[in-house]
Amino acid sequence: GAVVSQHPSRVICKSGTSVKIECRSLDFQATTMFWYRQFPKQSLMLMATSNEGSKATYEQGVEKDKFLINHASLTLSTLTVTSAHPEDSSFYICSARDPRDNPGGLQETQYFGPGTRLLVL
Amino acid sequence: KQEVTQIPAALSVPEGENLVLNCSFTDSAIYNLQWFRQDPGKGLTSLLLIQSSQREQTSGRLNASLDKSSGRSTLYIAASQPGDSATYLCAAVIQGGSEKLVFGKGTKLTVNP
């Protein structure tokens, strides 16, 4: 199956700094990638949908100026947490659709990365 | 607003036991429902996907059912093994072409040898 990687796997930073997380589709080109956040004992919550070459679509309540998403190529999307604060500490996970799975139709399967654990001190 | 609930939050069983994980959703207008497995430090692995027109899907020792009218899905695991220990998540895809996955909080399964 399709493989999605994330880097870094975990990061610790000081409050006020910015952190960039990379999401890569390794063996396919992903026109659409998704960014999720998971707090302890909570559901994965969709933060934004990232489309290659266009602006990301953010879910209600997610600050687009704080969580910058760049999908500059068909294999790479980045999430930058700007001016991170302790409440941003969470597990961030991305996913991507492989257009080969269902060409021309609603693409159903999302392939998930291993996630990035962010701790802001 | 679609909400997905999973019960129980945690389950511990001896090896070899058959078990059922439950998932309920509030809005029956779903495109499909998916079950995932999440291992610590790893991403999600898709286990089964049930289309809204289907009632069940099977893969090996796993069987997932879907009852849209009652807003419920179950994941049945036969002859559980220690390697099945993980957190199991169900997620509903909202109808309307949005492709959004709405996840439950998961059931943490421990299979004891």
Provide DSSP, A15-61: TT--EEEEEEESSS--SEEEEEEE-TTS-EEEEEEEETTSPPEEPTT
Q: Which amino acid is at B85?
A: S
What would the pLDDT profile of A47-95 be if each residue is shown by its tens digit?
Answer: 999 888 888 999 999 999 999 999 888 999 999 999 999 999 999 999 9
CB-CB contact of A27 with A3 (8 Å): yes
What would the pLDDT profile of A20-48 be if each residue is shown by its tens digit?
Answer: 999 999 988 888 899 999 998 889 999 99
CB-CB contact of B54 with B47 (8 Å): no
Chain-centroid distance of CA B7 in Å reads: 10
> Are B99 and A114 a contacting pair at CB < 8 A?
no
Mutation choice for A interface testing from B39, B100, B103 by most A CBs within 10 A: B103
Out of A43, A46, A95, name the one closest to residue B105 (CB).
A43
Is pLDDT above 60 for B103? yes
* DSSP 8-state code for residue A96: E
CB-CB contact of A82 with A61 (8 Å): no
Q: How far apart are CA B2 and CA A110, in angstroms?
A: 19
CB-CB contact of A11 with A19 (8 Å): yes
Interface size, chain A vs chain B, as Cβ–Cβ contacts under 8 Å = 52
The structure tokens listed for A83 are: 């001016």
pLDDT at B82: 97
**Residue that has been written with the tokens 């990301």 in this structure:** A56
